[in-house]
Amino acid sequence: MKRVHWLWLLVFLAGILFLELASIREKTFTADEEDHYGYGWNILMLNPDSRIVGNGTLMPFNSLNALPRLIGRQLPEGRIRNFLIDLETGRLVTMLFSLLLAFYVFKWSRELYGIAAGFFSLFLFAFSPTLIAHSRLITNDIFSACLMTVSLYYFWRFISSGGWKLAIITAVLAGVSQVVKYTMLAIYPIFIVILLCNQNKEIAGIIREGKWKALAQRCLVFSGYCLFFGLIGLLMINVGFLFHGTFTPLDEYNFKSLSWQTIQSQSGLLGQVPLPLPTLYLEGPDDRKWEEETGEHANNYLFGELRNPGYFPGYFFWAYLYKVPLALQLTIILSGIVYLKNRRSYAFRKNEIFLWVPILLFTIYLNFFLFIQSGFRFIIPVFPLLLVMGGNLLKNWQAFSRAARIGIGLLSTCLIVSVLSYFPHYLSYFNELVWDRKLAYKILADSNLGWGQNRNYLDRYRSEHPEVIFSPTYPRAGRIVLRANDLVGLFRPGEYRWLRENFEPVDHVAYTYLVYDVTPESLQDALRR
């Protein structure tokens, strides 16, 4: 890569970091950040069993967010120490990983489709509001996206070139991803499906020609790599959880959920076999399953309807439609059309299969098998893969007509304007299909809209309008302000029914809080109805 390209790459990455830093300045901690940070600190203190009660999503990788605090505590009093031990400094670790993710989006796209495509994918990353929003938080969404993308990139390199060096890199990355987020367990079946799609013609040819010895040799090599990847994964999980309770038999677990209790009761003699896993690793999925079974989670919400128990099949299709900028959606569609039109010049089984298998499998799983639907953020792990694919639109940039170049420029301009118009409130971003932004709550809620990040803006609004009534506990007249999530009934469905069914908001505070003007007369009419 030329020196000028490295320079532009640094400019892009610096721009992404600046956008993240500038947009997080006044944001308070979201609902889960302190839990993730706290558990990361417990890991550093060699106390992995101090998981926050009721939060089975916490994982050891967040110890990296707390690492600056550990370093700071070794330093003498002063500005550097105070900076490092500050909880907000932990957010910088996530930002650094977002830059690593952005770099690999650029790198993979460039190696597939050329330098112009690489920079275009990087540009799409910089103006993906969901990615930028979560790149600033002490959670595990960006970490999982980074590990997913980088693992798949090196798996692509490994399958293309072979060799134990790439195998070790891929296995370690996939193994580390297991202590980032539980959904990363899917990376192993994804690898297998990709490999089968990549090798299906060769395997079919071997079978057709009756070369059974060659087939047996391939199966042996495949089994060897599976064993190697599995052992590395187990090692990373045990290291992450500090070997806490490793080799505890299944019979000795105290599961909460009926599903895991059933597995335990039906395990027979296998229940007495020591498991090569930390006890904490299985407690997380048990907690989540218990939440599903008991409804001890926020209600699922879509288009004004609540479900709990129950979920919305296709939820993430709708979330994608409203939460991803229209210009970005159109870019991805156009890149697909260009690909199909010129498909003979590509090598799908060799390259794009590594992008589309995880996208399709994750999309199917999230839309039809995930029963806790608390936000679009769950799809983040595969979103960068769409951006890599989107770079394909500029593969033959030099051959573009003047009209095509102008079209790409207009599309890019629309994307920039749409995303920056929400600055700094990227977590609450909705595209132009929601023209009246204060009505976004009628489409989606929960972490799609508010996650506790805008309390400073609420405090400022209340100080400037001391007459407002915040979250009234009974129907009242006056200027009312409340969280959109409370309005729709994520936790208490009936509490604000009188307000949401009879009144429309007149304003909003940082898109998270809704403002209503309720006159005594209109209130009486509403109560009569």
pLDDT digits (tens, 9 = 90+) for 449-508: 999 999 999 999 999 999 999 999 999 999 999 999 999 999 999 899 999 999 999 999
Per the document, the length of the chain is: 529
The pLDDT assigned to 52 comes to 61
Q: How do 305-307 and 513-518 pair as beta strands?
A: unpaired
Identify the residue whose tokens are 């199909």.
340
The pLDDT assigned to 294 comes to 85
Q: With a cut of 70, say whether residue 53 has pLDDT above it.
A: no
Write out pLDDT tens, residues 202-226: 887 878 877 788 888 888 988 999 9
d(CA 391, CA 359): 16
Task: Calculate what percentage of the chain has a pLDDT beyond 90.
Answer: 78
Average of pLDDT values for 295-300? 86
Are the CB atoms for 390 and 332 separated by under 8 Å?
A: yes
Domain limits, the chain: 3-243+311-399, 250-298, 438-528
Are the CB atoms for 459 and 518 separated by under 8 Å?
A: no
The strand pairing partners of 518, in sequence order, are 478
Give the DSSP letter string of 272-315. Answer: GSBPSS-HHHHHHHHHHHHHHHHT-SPPEEETTEEESS---TTH
pLDDT category at 262 given cuts 50, 70, 90 is: very high
Mean pLDDT of the chain: 93
Write out pLDDT tens, residues 103-136: 999 999 999 999 999 999 999 999 999 999 999 9
Task: Calculate what percentage of the chain has a pLDDT beyond 70.
Answer: 99
The pLDDT assigned to 350 comes to 92
Q: With a cut of 80, say whether residue 56 has pLDDT above it.
A: no
The pLDDT assigned to 49 comes to 78
The pLDDT assigned to 212 comes to 83
Among candidate residues 113, 108, 97, 109, the one with its CA nearest the CA of residue 13: 97
Q: Which residues contact residue 455 at a Cβ distance below 8 angstroms, ignoring those fewer than 6 apart?
A: 28
Write out pLDDT tens, residues 20-45: 999 999 999 998 999 999 999 999 99
Are the CB atoms for 508 and 515 separated by under 8 Å?
A: yes
Burial class from Cβ neighbours inside 10 Å (0-12, 13-18, 19+) for residue 53 reads: exposed
In what helix (H) or strand (E) does residue 481 lie, and over which residues does it extend?
strand 478-483
Q: Which two three-digit tokens encode residue 83?
A: 């900076």
The pLDDT assigned to 495 comes to 92
Write out pLDDT tens, residues 347-377: 898 999 999 999 999 999 999 998 889 899 9
Identify the residue whose tokens are 């290291």.
239
CA dihedral 259, 262, 264, 267 (to 10 degrees): -130
Q: Which residue has the higher pLDDT, 150 or 290?
A: 150
The pLDDT assigned to 51 comes to 67
The pLDDT assigned to 202 comes to 82
- Three-state DSSP state, 490: coil
pLDDT category at 379 given cuts 50, 70, 90 is: very high
d(CA 120, CA 111): 13
* DSSP summary character for residue 104: H
pLDDT category at 54 given cuts 50, 70, 90 is: low
d(CA 232, CA 177): 11
Handedness of CA 126, 127, 131, 137 (dihedral sign): positive
Q: Which residues contact residue 523 at a Cβ distance below 8 angstroms, ignoring those fewer than 6 apart?
A: 475, 476, 477
The pLDDT assigned to 48 comes to 83
d(CA 429, CA 432): 10
d(CA 171, CA 155): 9
Q: Considering only CA atoms, give the Rg of the chain.
A: 25
pLDDT category at 416 given cuts 50, 70, 90 is: very high
